[in-house]
Amino acid sequence: MRQTLYLAWRYLSYHRVKTLILLVSITLIIYLPIGLRVLVDQSSQQLTARAAATPLIVGAKGSPLELVLNTLYFRSDYPEIMRYEQVTRVTDADLAIAIPMYVRFNAQGHPIVGTGYEYFEYRGLDIVDGRQLGMLGECVVGSRVAEALDVGPGDFVISSPESVFDLAGVYPLKMRVAGVLGFSDTADDDAIFVDVRTTWIIEGLGHGHQDLSRPEAASVVLTRDSTNVVGSAAVVQYNEITEDNIESFHFHGDISQNPVTAVIALPPDQKSSALLQGRYQGEDEPAQIVRPVNVMNELLGTILSVQSFITAGAVIVGMATLATAALVFMLSLRLRRREIETLFKIGGSRLSVASVMTSEIIAVLLAGVILAGGLTFLTGQFGSAAIRAFIRM
């Protein structure tokens, strides 16, 4: 057997290009459908894990997928905006804890998530450096944000304007980093968390400026009466909230009309969940309530049917390649007929000669299987991380 394997090895190493092509073909034939399956399974698991941990999401009527992707993964375009009164509505129903979510802005490529303290507790996010949000204008950053932007407690991140032409609207707000969250291997690692009111300030719905009632502001006051003070364009507006100027920050208009993108609703039991869902079934209802796991399963159903097509394609290509490989082996045997005859003539045993030929085929097949197995293992180990890295790109 050792001699047989030696001859097979010599043949394969001498014809290394042919061997390599066969090896790569066979490896890919085996790996593609299996590796794809592993990758899809892992992605499905990851997507559904976060969705399954989020019982209900309330949002404005529109695309449920957009709503879920934005609320859970802080991705996709922001969904239809709804009013903050929808948060109060959930709370007032006394059927669930309501966590406001306003995911619209970003800072240096990372999403700014406007929310409440309940979010951190609900997601089990702990501060590993610094402290929790303490005042308006502060933020806590996910671990990957801290790493990517090289920021920590006491540093600043600046929100990005939505559009350079939007002079009256969103303007950059310099936010002080209060703390850094621990690594959770979720979308939270890539986000910057602020109080929902801070996002309203970013949007321009609240602002802070120099106190016009003070004597030093006299030069920027146009008119003053008993109820109103009108300032000129020279009034200093603050783009950073500090302990010194926080008192000057205020919101105009009705807070309940301020925007949010979603409300995460955490009902204590099935019954409350069912009752809450029932409240959003009316035809005139401006909001929708969705179970994220259902939305994600629907998305995965689409992905899986696409995967089935890809697998079917890979199997067909695999069969064609396998047939080609078989043809290559057969042609190779034909080309080696003279060599086989020589081996027979000088006294090679039938078994030994047949073993040499089959060992070569088996060796290539086996190496292909081992390589495909290795690639599948690597996909299992690093596939999901690679997908996440790819998604973040």
Partner 1 sequence: MIRIEDLEFRYGEGEFRLRVPELQVEARTATACIGPSGSGKTTLLNLIAGITTPQKGRIVTHDTDVTSLSDERRRSFRIKTIGLVFQEFELLEYLTVLDNIMLPYRINPALRLDSRVRERAISLAEKMGIGDKLGRHPGKLSQGERQRVAVCRAVLPEPVLLLTDEPTGNLDPANKGLVLDIILDYARENDATLITVTHDHDLLARFDTVIDIKEFAVIGEGAGRQGGGTPQ
Which residues contribute to the site for partner 1 (CB under 8 A)?
3-4, 6-7, 10-11, 14-15, 338-339, 342-350, 352-353, 356
Least Å from the CB of residue 2 to partner 1:
9
Least Å from the CB of residue 11 to partner 1:
5
Least Å from the CB of residue 361 to partner 1:
16
Question: Which residue lies nearer to partner 1 by CB, 302 or 342?
Answer: 342
- For 365, the enclosing helix (H) or strand (E) is helix 350-392
Question: Which residue lies nearer to partner 1 by CB, 5 or 148?
Answer: 5
Q: How far is CA 74 from the centre of its chain?
A: 7
Question: Which residue lies nearer to partner 1 by CB, 146 or 356?
Answer: 356
Asked if residue 299 lies in contact with residue 139, where contact means CB atoms within 8 angstroms, the answer is no
Question: Which residue lies nearer to partner 1 by CB, 7 or 180?
Answer: 7
> What does the alpha-carbon distance between residue 58 and residue 68 come to, in Å, rounded to a whole number?
10
Least Å from the CB of residue 22 to partner 1:
15
Question: Which residue lies nearer to partner 1 by CB, 138 or 360?
Answer: 360
Asked if residue 135 lies in contact with residue 122, where contact means CB atoms within 8 angstroms, the answer is no
Question: Which residue lies nearer to partner 1 by CB, 11 or 74?
Answer: 11
Least Å from the CB of residue 345 to partner 1:
5
Least Å from the CB of residue 3 to partner 1:
4
SS3 359: helix
Q: What is the DSSP letter of 238?
A: P
Q: How far is CA 31 from the centre of its chain?
A: 26
Asked if residue 105 lies in contact with residue 160, where contact means CB atoms within 8 angstroms, the answer is yes
How many helices (H) and strands (E) the chain has is answered by: 11, 16
Least Å from the CB of residue 16 to partner 1:
10
- For 341, the enclosing helix (H) or strand (E) is helix 337-346
Question: Which residue lies nearer to partner 1 by CB, 41 or 339?
Answer: 339
Asked if residue 43 lies in contact with residue 51, where contact means CB atoms within 8 angstroms, the answer is no
The residue type at 67: L
Helix axes 337-346, 350-392, angle to 10 degrees: 140
